[in-house]
Amino acid sequence: MMRAKIVCLDRNDPDEEQIKEAGEIILKGGLVAFPTETVYGLGGNALDPEASNKIYTAKGRPSDNPLIVHIASWEDLDKIVKEIPKKAHILGEKCWPGPLTMIFNKKDIVPKETTGGLDTVAVRFPSHPVARKLILASGGYIAAPSANISGRPSPTKAEHVIEDLANRIDMIIDSGETDIGLESTIVDFTSENPVILRPGFYSEEDIREIIGDIEVDRALIKNDSRVKPKAPGMKYRHYAPKGDLTVVEGERGEVIDEINRLIKEHSKQGQKTAVLCSDETKDRYMGAEVISLGSLLKEDEIAHHLFDVLRTLDSRKVEVIYSEAFYTQKIGEAIMNRLLKAAGHKVIDLKNKR
Ligand code: AMP
Ligand code: MG
């Protein structure tokens, strides 16, 4: 039997009574999944260690993987962080409310259970109207990782949350599909120079334009298991479909030929295969389930569809998956970060094969 109460809320005009009810669940130590502009979050009171513990248990998340604290006003930031560096202020002024997470040194009021044992805290001020209202109704601080079972693709629809967590949490707020579909960009302001720990909707270039020089965590650039990522969560396998996913990179025509050849081989062995591609290439594949993420000219669409498509592959019981690469202009970095993680960094690189 489903335990969570499912509540549908209009994203621009949510019912005040139901927001209040959801806020009370969180204030009492319960868990509510809610929409944000990036993905659905699994929310609990960030200042309550027990609530954070419940989040880890519900998700099956390793307890060293810290949670992001969501706020809904600048004033609330001062209460949980020791200092706000000038550049963080400048970046926040431009990107908050929105898909940006910043890491600061935390004050004692934030329990270590929320920060995975760290002395730093990740904070985001989301723009989604339902998220903002819920945060205010919940006392101002909601710890919320993505509302999926650990390791599965992040949820971009309430249906995804229901699939993973309906029996494990108290309420799920359904406001339709999320806008962006990829998690926030994370920037760490606790070392000498700001560092990007996770790419997202805001690209390295966007951030450089706003605050000048910025570093990128080496673990993001180089796929080397000896380089430990600074965001604890980035070291875990993530988003992986049940089928065996490989990314094929190279010149477009060659990629298509190689994937078609591989499909034929797998079909001979009776394996169910799928191809992830774009509107521009979808008619050029044969003998497999062909799934387009959207047009390469609309990278927002590709980002928006990625996690949903990864889940669809599971429901269709696909065994072998080949994906094109999507190094699109602005959010390509973030799309490829998630896709390569989903593939466990399995890549056929045709450029370097020749
Ligand atoms: P999720 O909540 O699933 O979007 O994941 C949150 C991400 O933020 C994970 O990769 C965490 O490791 C990272 N993160 C959260 N808090 C911190 C922190 N204090 N320092 C570094 N990374 C953090
Ligand atoms: Mg997550």
Residue 220 has pLDDT above 90, yes or no: no
CA distance 71 to 58: 22
- Nearest-CA residue for atom 15 of ligand 1: 66
Q: To 5 degrees, how large is the angle CA 125–CA 44–CA 175? A: 65
Ligand whose nearest atom lies closest to the CA of 38: 1
User: Quick one: pLDDT at residue 161?
Assistant: 98
- The predicted pLDDT at position 232 comes to 82
Q: What is the pLDDT of residues 97-114, one digit of tens each?
A: 999 999 999 999 999 999
Split at pLDDT 50, 70, 90, the class of 222 is: low
What is the average per-residue pLDDT within 124-153?
Answer: 97
Return the closest-CA partner of residue 16 out of 7, 29, 27.
Answer: 7
CA of 14 to the centre of ligand 2 (A): 25
233 ligand 1 Cβ < 6 A = yes
Q: How far is the CA of 101 from the centre of ligand 1 (A)?
A: 9
* For ligand 1, atom 20: residue with the closest CA: 231
* Over residues 4-30, mean pLDDT: 98
pLDDT for 185 beyond 80: yes
Distances from the Cα of 44 to the Cαs of 49, 124, 165, 229, 251, in angstroms?
10, 15, 14, 26, 46
Indicate whether 94 pLDDT > 60.
yes
Tell me the percentage of the chain whose pLDDT exceeds 70. 97
Best probe residue, ligand 1, of 61, 67, 185, 217 (max atoms within 8 Å of C-beta): 67
Pocket-testing residue among 31, 34, 40, 65, ligand 1, by greatest number of atoms within 8 A of Cβ: 65
For helices 158-165 and 299-315, angle between their N-to-C axes, nearest 10 degrees:
30
pTM: 0.95
Report pLDDT digits (tens) over 239-269. 889 999 999 999 999 999 999 999 999 999 9
Which pLDDT tens digit goes with each residue over 46-87? 999 999 999 999 999 998 999 999 999 999 999 999 999 999
2 vs 198, residue with greater confidence: 198
pLDDT of residue 1 exceeding 60: no
Give the pLDDT band (50/70/90) at residue 187: very high
The response to whether residue 318 sits with its C-beta less than 6 Å from ligand 1 reads: no
Contact 285, 302 (CB under 8 A): no
Does residue 143 have its Cβ closer than 6 Å to ligand 1?
Answer: no
The beta-strand segments (E) located in the chain are: 5-8, 32-34, 41-45, 68-70, 100-105, 120-124, 142-143, 171-174, 185-188, 195-198, 215-216, 244-249, 273-277, 289-292, 320-324, 347-349
Does ligand 1 have an atom closer than 6 angstroms to the CB of 118? yes
| pLDDT reported for residue 229 | 80
Nearest protein CA to atom 7 of ligand 1, as residue: 233
Residue of 186, 189, 235 to test ligand 1 pocket, by largest number of atoms within 8 Å of CB: 186
Give the residue, out of 110, 197, 220, with the most ligand 1 atoms within 8 A of its beta carbon, to mutate for a pocket test.
197
pLDDT score, position 226 = 66
Give the tens place of pLDDT for each residue, 144-184: 999 999 999 999 999 999 999 999 999 999 999 999 999 99
Cα-to-centroid distance, 65 and ligand 1 (Å) = 6
Give pLDDT, residue 224: 62
For residue 5, the model assigns a pLDDT of: 97
Instruction: Please name which ligand lies nearest the alpha carbon of 69.
Output: 1
**Lowest mean pLDDT segment, chosen from 78-82, 303-307, 349-353:** 349-353
